[in-house]
Amino acid sequence: MSRETLAAALLPSPVPVRFLAEDGTRVDEHGGYTAPPPDRLVEAYRLMVLGRRFDVQATALTKQGRLAVYPSSAGQEACQVASALALTDADWLFPTYRDSVALVARGLEPGEILTLLRGDAHCGYDPTETRVAPQCTPLATQTLHAAGLAHAMRRRGEEAVAFALIGDGATSEGDFHEALNFAAVFKAPVVFFVQNNGFAISVPFEKQSAAPALAYKGVGYGVRSEQVDGNDAVAVLSVLDDAVAHARAGRGPVLVEAHTYRIDAHTNADDATRYRDPAEVEKWRAADPVRRLETYLTNENLLSGDDIERFRAEAETFAAGVRDTLNADVEPDPLSLFEHVYAVPTRQLAAQRELVAAELEAVEG
């Protein structure tokens, strides 16, 4: 393959791939991608409804003091759900702090998902059992973890894929670029999925990068790249299905950029009105991914009014379970402080544990 041909194969579509207009009608801007079958789209809609209700409930729990912080992903449900649906149980997901809805769609218990944001000492779920890495707060560090694990799985002959969720701000970090380069050189089966929601906390995209799109950052490293309308669930799932298949086939990593928007503030501790125009927020509300998919499925007679009500009722029941779980106080075991410090506890640590255990026994006795 000539350099010119190779370069052309790496370039993303000139405009974001999409199947649906903002009003839910079909458009022919999908660049040859194939729409997922109806049953997967209905399942995506169900999980998006569930995820949005989870997001609202988690936000409310921060106001009640049950969570220390919660970074909402409202408006990004298409990206969150498609990330989970594109993977098999054998694949690994590397989420950020804003990707709790993706974990819900992956099937993790909500109480375990929110443990980290509650301020507990561990991430709540077992990464080796769920094939989900701990939610990453430092920007872009999970991209290196994903690239390294993907390379290791390939060397072991596994057909699994690593999938790293990334925010637009993380693409300015050195770790992101190192991960792209490493993955490309070793053809690691990893997908880097950038959810470009317009802001790195308060820094708008145009002040982060002069590139026409973040997807172009992959080309310089020899990484196949693509961009997609992140509020079009049909397009996001189609593009991610293709990216995962590409990586799984041993053809190397893929970088996908989804153009979406963070409807809520960065976290409950942020005042987004200080740096965002309310008119801009309302413009993006009109592109709501849940409503867009609902309209399309309804128009295609793939979703009935009864289906919608059933999914909403399921979401309410789910939210009630989240409330019950987070409202239950957990009494931590003081001796758990000594766990997971060293693989093999030192003599000093063991002695300290015995001392605390004796003091606890004396108090309780």
Q: Which residues are catalytic?
A: 262, 266, 275
DSSP string, 31-47: TTPPPPPHHHHHHHHHH
Q: Is 302 exposed, middle or buried (0-12, 13-18, 19+ CB in 10 A)?
A: middle
Closest to 247 (Cα-Cα) out of 187, 180, 179 = 187
Whole-angstrom distance, CA of residue 106 vs CA of residue 56: 18
H or E stretch covering 120 = none
Write phi, then psi, for 257 (nearest 5 degrees): -110, 125
**Beta carbons of 211 and 217 less than 8 angstroms apart:** yes
H or E stretch covering 296 = helix 289-299
Closest to 83 (Cα-Cα) out of 308, 284, 318, 256 = 256
